[in-house]
Amino acid sequence: MESGHQEITMPATQADEYQEIAWGVQKFGEKFTPFYINRPNVGPKQVKFKTLYSGVCHTDLHKVKGHFGPGNVYPYVPGHEILGEVTEIGEGVTKFKVGDHVGVGCFVDSCMECEQCEEDYENYCDKGVTETYDHVKKFGRVLGNKDMRTWGGYSGSNVVHEHFCLTIPKDLPVENAAPILCAGITMYDPLQNHGFTTGKSRTVGIVAIGGLGTMGIKIAKALGHTVVAISTTSAKEQLAKDKGATHFVASKDPESIKAMANSCHIILNTVAANHDINTYMPLLKKGGVIVQIGAAPAPHSISQIPLMFNRQSIAGSLVGGIKNTQEILDFCAKHQIWPDAQMIKFDQIDWAFEQLETNNKDGIRFVIDVQASIAAG
Amino acid sequence: MESGHQEITMPATQADEYQEIAWGVQKFGEKFTPFYINRPNVGPKQVKFKTLYSGVCHTDLHKVKGHFGPGNVYPYVPGHEILGEVTEIGEGVTKFKVGDHVGVGCFVDSCMECEQCEEDYENYCDKGVTETYDHVKKFGRVLGNKDMRTWGGYSGSNVVHEHFCLTIPKDLPVENAAPILCAGITMYDPLQNHGFTTGKSRTVGIVAIGGLGTMGIKIAKALGHTVVAISTTSAKEQLAKDKGATHFVASKDPESIKAMANSCHIILNTVAANHDINTYMPLLKKGGVIVQIGAAPAPHSISQIPLMFNRQSIAGSLVGGIKNTQEILDFCAKHQIWPDAQMIKFDQIDWAFEQLETNNKDGIRFVIDVQASIAAG
């Protein structure tokens, strides 16, 4: 296949599987359509749930469209911000009972034996985490046809090992909880790892005020920090301040950078396109860290002398483990914060992708109302 | 002056000063000679000491020779690993009494008010720390002629505010303690800041097996960690293992890198010349940090994608504050470790610089025996 991707024929449903509706892309480059996939029947330690909501992440767009390179397998069903209601539990399940709200994020299995897994960083599993969609089933906790890859959350139901299922607190609105499973943990995890979830109030910079950025502002503020929102121009100043930012920097304006120079203890940089990290370094305090969160392919030119003289760090972060994901869900429930979500139905997925591709001016997360989509048939 | 440096005439000794012998460079580009400098008399909170030993740091060489750019003032007296015996104390001094062993490291004053100073990072003072030599007296704790810069430790005595004086534990050999004040703290501080002075045994990589590297090996081993020594070729393998390294990587050999891939939780990179940081990144575990310690001027090309997927960081570090310096002195006394030192007299300083400039093959720290130098007169 010219694109470097692979197309397969959906196999017959096995004896240990059932059929389920999904919305995905049948062949590389095509639009979304509904079709049937096979899901595994419930086994020991497995949790089956009816999907209520499925968030639409910018990464879904990148992956479905093959932006990260060749190797996709089509039909392709994305979705890794999944919110459901438990309908059946397997033998030995202790975390859930039928009727509970349950969440599944970016991955559904990992080796559970390596140093990363043991330290609750399943997302960095040394043997390679099994992502929620388009990933090979390696470790045995995703049941059903072993030759098929994982299918994502744009689908009517799912069956996942309970370790990889999150408990959704009762006082979180289920339609808004879905994006916490990716956007929320993505912004919380670096704050947790770099010591910003305990201790005194500090100053947190957030670069790019989209879906990740607005959620970052809310979390950092709820943690008691002062937030500096950073965007190329002042177009998003009001939005950022409405979400809780105290200060705003228009990064294309040297005077604006200068006004907030040496102010941030940490900067969460969510820019997902190529950029020059040195634009933001002057905003960092001595002892500060800038965490790169977006998948920017072009390398940065970084001088180590200012890193040394200012005791600064450049770090990377990619979602988070199950423990921290549960922590941010509980934190969001306690502080009554969540991503701004706009409900869509399955026939609006292509339209939502277009919005994400142009400019997410309102910092909104699109969320598929799965049951309404099924009802709309 | 063509070099961009400045030459001054030594002013007359003020009423609040005394004359002291020093070894320094009279004019840019000249060799070391003895000459007299003015030191301040003891004031409140000040500690006067007779210099016993003064370590010779690679930075002394860089600075005296103007490698860090223009702006030096000559006559120039370097030295920031100073070990002395207290001979007089000013009013209000509580940390020292006459006869105590005292140490002074890389700086002798800071603002004592900024966030960095308040958090025991005087070395990163927001207003700019006053270094032990060739620095403007800004904050009032270095007495004497305000128009003169600070003079370093290659000198018969010194007077320093007690906050910037370290207590030398009784069971540290004084001739070896001097280099702990720079080489020791330089290697200890990043281990402390990144969480390697408590908790379980991990794997520490040390790049470049010179004066800093060998001290780093000893400290990391005494902290209970496994040490991976990293050098361009296998020439220093035996030296590194003699100092306590368990593993050795010859970084010019891809097979040697491969054999220890993903092994290090932290890498302390002491290479002080231009280099490619990406040589060492494959040695880093997921979640690991590489700390750049040497002043390498050329920038690095760094891709953020592997930083993200591996939750890795690139950090910088430059000596350490008073609190951590005292901590490493006490730690070295407790574990009976210290830099390997070779005593020299003042007439061997130029020779010692030559050794440092070529290749410090034995990882030895040269230390001036100051009282023997005075006696040799």
Write out chain B residues lying below 8 Å of A310, CB-based. 124, 316
The CA-based diameter of chain A, rounded to the nearest angstrom, is: 66
ipTM for this model: 0.93
Write out the two tokens for A118: 């043991």
A327: which residues sit within 8 A by CB, 6+ positions away? Answer: A188, A192, A197
pLDDT over threshold 60, residue A1: no
For residue A162, the model assigns a pLDDT of 98
For residue A377, the model assigns a pLDDT of 75
Write out chain A residues lying below 8 Å of B59, CB-based. none
For residue B117, the model assigns a pLDDT of 98
Closest CA to A154 of A81, A46, A105, A246: A81
Q: How many CB atoms are located within 10 Å of the residue B256 CB? A: 16
Q: Which of A290, A311, A318 to probe the B interface (max B CBs under 10 A)?
A: A311
A300 touches chain B (CB under 8 A): yes
Whether B285 sits inside 8 A of A124 (CB atoms) is: no
- What letter represents residue A21's amino acid? I
CA closest to A293 among chain B residues? B308
Whether A286 sits inside 8 A of B311 (CB atoms) is: no
For residue A357, the model assigns a pLDDT of 84
Residue A350 lies in a domain: yes
Q: Check whether residue A197 and residue A148 sit in a common domain.
A: no
pLDDT bracket for residue B362 (50, 70, 90): low
- Report helix angle B183-193 to B322-335, nearest 10: 100
Q: How many CB atoms are located within 10 Å of the residue B63 CB? A: 19
Whole-number percent of chain A with pLDDT over 90: 89
Write out chain A residues lying below 8 Å of B315, CB-based. 307, 311-314
pLDDT in tens, A136-169: 999 999 999 999 999 999 999 999 999 999 999 9
- What letter represents residue B361's amino acid? K
Residue of B295, B297, B316 with shortest CB distance to A311? B316
Å between A197 CA and nearest CA of chain B: 17
Per-residue CA distances from A353 to A65, A143, A348, B275, B321 (Å): 10, 30, 9, 43, 51
Q: Check whether residue B22 and residue B85 sit in a common domain.
A: yes
Residue A1 lies in a domain: no
Strand runs (DSSP E) across A214-307, as ranges? 226-231, 247-250, 264-269, 284-292, 300-302
Decide which of A298, A316, A334 is a domain's last residue.
Answer: A316
Q: Check whether residue A62 and residue A117 sit in a common domain.
A: yes
Strand runs (DSSP E) across chain B, as ranges? 6-7, 17-25, 32-40, 46-56, 73-74, 82-89, 101-104, 107-109, 130-131, 157-161, 166-167, 203-207, 226-231, 247-250, 264-269, 284-292, 300-302, 313-316, 341-344, 365-369
Q: Check whether residue A293 and residue A342 sit in a common domain.
A: no
Write out the two tokens for B19: 């004359």
CA closest to A315 among chain B residues? B313
At A239, which CATH number? Answer: 3.40.50.720
Q: Check whether residue B147 and residue B245 sit in a common domain.
A: no
Secondary structure class of A5 (helix, strand, coil): coil
Write out the two tokens for A109: 């299995």
A318 touches chain B (CB under 8 A): yes
Q: Check whether residue B248 and residue B218 sit in a common domain.
A: yes
- Following DSSP, what letter does each residue of B10-77 receive, concatenated? PPPPPTTEEEEEEEEESSTTPPEEEEEEEEEPP-TTEEEEEEEEEEE-HHHHHHHTTTT-S--EESB-
Residue of B115, B293, B310 with shortest CB distance to A316? B310
Secondary structure class of A85 (helix, strand, coil): strand
pLDDT in tens, B91-134: 999 999 999 999 999 999 999 999 999 999 999 999 999 999 99
Beta carbons of A274 and A251 less than 8 angstroms apart: no
Å between A297 CA and nearest CA of chain B: 7
Q: Check whether residue A255 and residue A352 sit in a common domain.
A: no
Whole-number percent of chain B with pLDDT over 70: 98
For residue A361, the model assigns a pLDDT of 61
Q: How many CB atoms are located within 10 Å of the residue B99 CB? A: 8
A289 touches chain B (CB under 8 A): yes
Q: How many CB atoms are located within 10 Å of the residue B32 CB? A: 23
B99: which residues sit within 8 A by CB, 6+ positions away? Answer: B85, B86
| Cβ pairs bridging A and B (under 8 Å) | 124
Secondary structure class of A326 (helix, strand, coil): helix
H or E element at residue B175: helix B174-177
Q: Which of B110, B266, B311, B312 to probe the A interface (max A CBs under 10 A)?
A: B311
pLDDT in tens, B188-229: 999 999 999 999 999 999 999 988 999 999 999 999 999 999
Closest CA to A227 of A242, A246, A214: A246
Residue of A262, A285, A316 with shortest CB distance to B308? A316
Whether B311 sits inside 8 A of A308 (CB atoms) is: no
Q: For residues B272 and A100, which has the higher predicted lDDT (pLDDT)?
A: A100
pLDDT over threshold 90, residue A69: no
H or E element at residue B238: helix B237-243
Q: Check whether residue A102 and residue A191 sit in a common domain.
A: no
Read off the pLDDT of each residue in B140-150 and give the average, rounded to a whole number. Answer: 97
Per-residue CA distances from A222 to A171, A201, A216, A218, A362 (Å): 17, 11, 10, 6, 20
A259: which residues sit within 8 A by CB, 6+ positions away? Answer: A249
pLDDT bracket for residue B303 (50, 70, 90): very high
A299 touches chain B (CB under 8 A): yes
Q: What is the CA radius of gyration of chain A?
A: 21
Å between A100 CA and nearest CA of chain B: 32
Write out chain A residues lying below 8 Å of B300, CB-based. 301-304
Domain of residue A309, residue span: 184-316
Whether A300 sits inside 8 A of B301 (CB atoms) is: yes
Residue A349 lies in a domain: yes
Beta carbons of A12 and A80 less than 8 angstroms apart: no
For residue A2, the model assigns a pLDDT of 58
pLDDT in tens, B153-195: 999 999 999 999 999 999 999 989 999 999 999 999 999 999 9
Can you tell me the distance from the alpha carbon of A40 to that of B70, in angstroms, rounded to the nearest whole number? 71
- What letter represents residue B371's amino acid? Q
Q: For residues B62 and A282, which has the higher predicted lDDT (pLDDT)?
A: A282
Beta carbons of B280 and B249 less than 8 angstroms apart: no
Q: Check whether residue B135 and residue B154 sit in a common domain.
A: yes
Burial class (CB in 10 A: 0-12, 13-18, 19+), B240: buried
Write out the two tokens for A307: 């890193």
Can you tell me the distance from the alpha carbon of B330 to that of B266, in angstroms, rounded to the nearest whole number? 23
Write out chain B residues lying below 8 Å of A262, CB-based. 126
Å between B258 CA and nearest CA of chain A: 16
Sign of the CA dihedral running A55, A61, A62, A63: positive
Q: Which of A278, A280, A313 to probe the B interface (max B CBs under 10 A)?
A: A313
**What is the rounded average pLDDT for all residues in chain B?**
95
CA closest to A295 among chain B residues? B305
Decide which of A273, A295, A316 is a domain's last residue.
Answer: A316
pLDDT in tens, A236-271: 999 999 999 999 999 999 999 999 999 999 999 999
Å between A166 CA and nearest CA of chain B: 22
Whether A307 sits inside 8 A of B313 (CB atoms) is: no
Whether A313 sits inside 8 A of B193 (CB atoms) is: no
pLDDT in tens, A314-350: 999 999 999 999 999 999 999 999 998 999 999 999 9
Beta carbons of A14 and A116 less than 8 angstroms apart: no
Secondary structure class of B247 (helix, strand, coil): strand
B287 touches chain A (CB under 8 A): yes
Q: Check whether residue B28 and residue B152 sit in a common domain.
A: yes
Q: Check whether residue B222 and residue B363 sit in a common domain.
A: no
A67 touches chain B (CB under 8 A): no
Å between A285 CA and nearest CA of chain B: 9
Closest CA to A289 of A260, A267, A307: A267
Can you tell me the distance from the alpha carbon of A82 to that of A55, in angstroms, rounded to the nearest whole number? 7
pLDDT in tens, A183-203: 999 999 999 999 999 999 999
B194: which residues sit within 8 A by CB, 6+ positions away? Answer: B266, B289, B291, B315
pLDDT over threshold 90, residue A92: yes
Matching residue, tokens 């020292």: B96
For residue B142, the model assigns a pLDDT of 98
- What letter represents residue A216's amino acid? G
Question: Cα-flanking dihedrals φ and ψ of residue A265, to 5°?
Answer: -75, -30
Per-residue CA distances from A294 to A268, A298, A318, A319, B284 (Å): 10, 12, 8, 11, 21
Whether A115 sits inside 8 A of B285 (CB atoms) is: yes
A126 touches chain B (CB under 8 A): yes
Can you tell me the distance from the alpha carbon of A78 to that of A374, in angstroms, rounded to the nearest whole number? 17
Write out the two tokens for A197: 């979830």
pLDDT in tens, B27-81: 999 999 999 999 999 999 999 999 999 999 988 998 999 988 889 999 999 999 9
Can you tell me the distance from the alpha carbon of B111 to that of A253, in angstroms, rounded to the nearest whole number? 31
**What is the rounded average pLDDT for all residues in chain A?**
95
B272 touches chain A (CB under 8 A): no
For residue B272, the model assigns a pLDDT of 85
Decide which of A287, A316, A345 is a domain's last residue.
Answer: A316
Write out chain A residues lying below 8 Å of B271, CB-based. none
Write out the two tokens for B103: 């140490």
Whether A308 sits inside 8 A of B292 (CB atoms) is: yes
pLDDT in tens, A7-28: 999 999 999 999 999 999 999 9
For residue A359, the model assigns a pLDDT of 67
At B332, which CATH number? Answer: 3.90.180.10
Write out chain A residues lying below 8 Å of B306, CB-based. 316
B279 touches chain A (CB under 8 A): no
Read off the pLDDT of each residue in A226-231 and give the average, rounded to a whole number. Answer: 98
pLDDT over threshold 90, residue A364: no
Read off the pLDDT of each residue in A299-308 and give the average, rounded to a whole number. Answer: 96
Per-residue CA distances from B148 to A270, B8, B49 (Å): 48, 10, 20
Whether B300 sits inside 8 A of A301 (CB atoms) is: yes
Read off the pLDDT of each residue in B304-310 and give the average, rounded to a whole number. Answer: 95
Can you tell me the distance from the alpha carbon of A269 to that of A280, in angstroms, rounded to the nearest whole number? 9
For residue B313, the model assigns a pLDDT of 98
pLDDT over threshold 80, residue A79: yes
Number of domains in chain A: 2
Residue B1 lies in a domain: no
A316 touches chain B (CB under 8 A): yes
H or E element at residue A25: strand A17-25
Can you tell me the distance from the alpha carbon of B19 to that of B37, in angstroms, rounded to the nearest whole number? 6
- Following DSSP, what letter does each residue of A88-120 receive, concatenated? EE-TT--S--TT-EEEE-SEEE--S-SHHHHTT
Write out chain A residues lying below 8 Å of B312, CB-based. 315-316
Residue of B262, B296, B313 with shortest CB distance to A315? B313
Q: Check whether residue A176 and residue A190 sit in a common domain.
A: no
pLDDT over threshold 80, residue B377: no
Read off the pLDDT of each residue in B8-18 and give the average, rounded to a whole number. Answer: 96
Write out chain A residues lying below 8 Å of B296, CB-based. 304-305
Matching residue, tokens 């808004």: A176
Read off the pLDDT of each residue in A101-123 and give the average, rounded to a whole number. Answer: 97
Read off the pLDDT of each residue in A37-57 and give the average, rounded to a whole number. Answer: 97
For residue B156, the model assigns a pLDDT of 98
B296 touches chain A (CB under 8 A): yes
